[in-house]
Amino acid sequence: MKPSVIIIGTGHRLQAGHDRYTPSQLKAFADLIEATRKKYRIKLIAEEMSEDVLPDFGVTATIAKKLADRKKIAHRYVDLTASERGSLGIDRLSLHQAAQSAQLSAPQFAVLERTVEELRECLWLVRILTANMWPVLLICGANHGPRIQHLFNAIGKPAVLEVNDYEA
């Protein structure tokens, strides 16, 4: 069975194309994305990223967004924006305030943070399903790869973790 979702896990600085990496390291990551795109005939590139955090990495678009634009294929940033996180009360400040008022211990706060991560992963799944363009390449933080693969497989969209933790 052909996969519907192909996942590449990596670090967000590399994903964004941060100047911490050399041009050859950034090219190697771009080459991986392009090879994966060709191998699976990708119709959509989705990324755990939002436009409002790109300036934090010193960029206006990720490596994958630039590649998608050059190759004229669809691209979506699927993570929550800062505004969306704030309106849901799951931004860092709100989480810390909730933990303090509820007197959560450090281990309890860690569970809360993981639960918020799972909420975000479910949102990515829904946003990708809504786009309805298959197969899709999902680029996300390496810590999300196995779980998001499980989520897609569980709903009948076969997923493969092409690279769990790509490092330059």
Rounded to two decimals, what is the model's pTM?
0.93
Residue 116 belongs to a domain: yes
Residue 93 belongs to a domain: yes
Residue 82 belongs to a domain: yes
Residue 133 belongs to a domain: yes
Domain assignment of residue 129, given as a range: 77-143
pLDDT at residue 162 in the model: 97
Q: Buried b vs exposed e over 56-93: b needs ≥16 C-beta within 10 Å?
A: ebebebbbbbbbbeeeebebbbbbbeeeebeeeebbee
Residue 163 belongs to a domain: no
Residue 168 belongs to a domain: no
pLDDT at residue 117 in the model: 92
* Tens-digit pLDDT profile for residues 77-105: 999 999 999 999 888 888 889 999 999 99
pLDDT at residue 127 in the model: 98
What is the tally of structural domains in the chain? 1
pLDDT at residue 168 in the model: 74
**pLDDT by 10-residue block (mean), the chain, 168 residues:** 94 95 97 98 98 95 98 97 92 89 94 92 98 98 96 98 93
Residue 55 belongs to a domain: no
Residue 152 belongs to a domain: no
CB neighbour class for 128 (10 Å; exposed up to 12, middle 13-18, buried from 19):
buried
Q: Which residues contact 145 (CB under 8 A, 6 or more apart)?
A: 7, 8, 9, 161, 164, 165
DSSP character for 142? Answer: G
